[in-house]
Amino acid sequence: MVANALWGWLQQWKQNIWQHRGRPIWAAAFWQYIAARVENLAVKVCHVDAHVPKSQATEEHQNNQQVDQAAKIEVAQVDLDWQHKGELFIAHWAHDTSGHQGRDATYRWACDRGVDLTMDTIAQVIHECETCAAIKQAKQLKPLWYGGRWLKYQYGEAWQINYITLPQTRQGKRHVLTVVEAAIGWLETYPVPHATAWNTILGLGKQVLWRLGTPERIESGNGTHCRNNLIDTWAKEHGIEWVYHIPYHAPASGKLERYNGLLKATLRAMGGGTFKHWATHLAKATCRHPSEQIISWLLRCWDTGDNSKEAWQLGSLARDKAIDKGIGKGATVLSLWRRLLSSVKERHPLKEDLANSRSKWTTIEGGIQYLRELAMVEVIYSNLDNNQASKDLNEIWCMRSTWRKFVQSAPTSYTNTLAIMSWTDTEAPTVDGLARQL
């Protein structure tokens, strides 16, 4: 069926010098090879005496008998609509491979690859597609699939899980189970050699149930490491509602995908542009280092965030029980960044405790780091409940008091130059702008 349909296209492509609408077809050399083989295909016809006893029948006699049986087909069984069904088959393939796009997008995708499909055929395939129907239904239930679905859950009651794949370590580990708490975005990781259902259960038991209690709901993809009888039985035994995401519906797992992307970017940065020693860096990528200052850690959280608009740096966060506890409490739904700032402010009520935590800087890079840390202090001790006040580090104004502290911490070789720069508070530049000038 498919071969006959392709044969019709091969003739058309050959007449158009292996182009489709003026553009070279996809894998032209491969199709030219197929066309040449089909044209020069040798067919041999010979007589085989089929009327011989089975005990004397050779392989040729047996093959001849099978051909005779296959040729005895009733007229009603002959499929005269093979060409249309072949086009439907290719349309199904194009629609599925292109990611269940709409009619026009699927048509363009197919045209770019030299596949000639009609709009009517694509529309028929989309109309019959079960995945597209499920996606359409999910979009109609917007409060369930978007941000509103988490409002009823408290901290630790709902999680999203997935796996990321990394280069294999010497210990044979090449997958990381990522588990994200849905309410505030707490990240837990569990490296494993294989992404299996059993390792999923082990990771959830060690990273979630043992430390934070049994959740009410877990969401995952449809891979075999999540969707099988072992997972179903385990979830029922623990009273967990296990929900599978709809394929090709990005909002269902959007938060988890962002976290996975950030985790990979952080591991790559810590490995000097590669994933070298990622297993060693994994714990550091998701928590504050033991000797790291609180402000330096907050700044690192910001810099590894989603376009510096939200701190997505997660995990066993601050290595400070008071701060970690403050992040997890609270009845209102706030971003993780707001919770993080509020908990640090509650733990250190005096601004001087954080502002005076660094000694003098010696390089211009260290100076920029210190200036941004001073700006971070201003963000923490601003009115966090005021939605009009900016929580964006790049939009914080550098007031004269902040600049004075920065100049006082500078080495003598920079002091005179920096002291010349001055402004009023009403004309203050942003910290980000000053950092670029330095």
> Could you read off the pLDDT of 256-311 as tens digits, one per residue?
777 777 788 878 877 888 888 888 888 766 665 555 677 776 776 666 543 333 33
Instruction: Let me know whether 230 and 334 are in one domain.
Output: no
pLDDT at 316 over 50: no
Residue ending a domain, choose from 99, 128, 157: 128
Instruction: Let me know whether 106 and 17 are in one domain.
Output: yes
pLDDT of residue 145: 38
Instruction: Let me know whether 111 and 156 are in one domain.
Output: no
Q: Is residue 71 part of a domain?
A: no
Q: Is residue 69 part of a domain?
A: no
The identity of residue 77, as a single letter, is Q
pLDDT of residue 267: 83
pTM (2 d.p.):
0.42
Tokens at residue 48, please? 């085989």
Instruction: Let me know whether 383 and 303 are in one domain.
Output: yes
Instruction: Let me know whether 315 and 406 are in one domain.
Output: yes
Instruction: Let me know whether 339 and 425 are in one domain.
Output: yes
Q: Is residue 320 part of a domain?
A: yes
Torsion of CA 223, 225, 229, 235, to 10 degrees: -110
Helix (H) / strand (E) containing 243:
strand 241-244
Instruction: Let me know whether 93 and 167 are in one domain.
Output: no
Q: What CATH number should be reported for the domain holding residue 218? A: 3.30.420.10
Instruction: Let me know whether 249 and 353 are in one domain.
Output: no
Confidence band, pLDDT 50/70/90 cuts, at residue 367: confident
Residue 243 CB contacts under 8 Å (≥ 6 apart), including other chains: 217, 218, 219, 220
pLDDT of residue 175: 92
pLDDT at 147 over 50: no
How high does pLDDT run on average in the chain? 72
Instruction: Let me know whether 177 and 223 are in one domain.
Output: yes
Q: How many residues does the chain have?
A: 438
The lowest-confidence range among 12-21, 37-46, 176-185, 395-404 is 37-46
Domain count of the fold of the chain:
3
Q: Is residue 286 part of a domain?
A: no
Q: Is residue 423 part of a domain?
A: yes
Q: Is residue 93 part of a domain?
A: yes
Instruction: Let me know whether 312 and 432 are in one domain.
Output: yes
Instruction: Let me know whether 344 and 422 are in one domain.
Output: yes
Distance separating alpha carbons of residues 276 and 281, to the nearest angstrom: 9
Report, as an integer, the average pLDDT of 376-383. 79
Q: Is residue 202 part of a domain?
A: yes
Phi, then psi, of 98 in degrees rounded to 5: -80, -5
Instruction: Let me know whether 412 and 358 are in one domain.
Output: yes
Distance separating alpha carbons of residues 159 and 178, to the nearest angstrom: 10
Residue ending a domain, choose from 67, 94, 128: 128
Q: Domain of 153?
A: 149-271
Helix (H) / strand (E) containing 184:
none
Q: pLDDT digit string (tens) for 182-240?
A: 766 677 888 999 999 899 998 888 777 776 678 888 888 878 888 888 989 999 988 88
Q: Is residue 72 part of a domain?
A: no
Report, as an integer, the average pLDDT of 114-142. 76
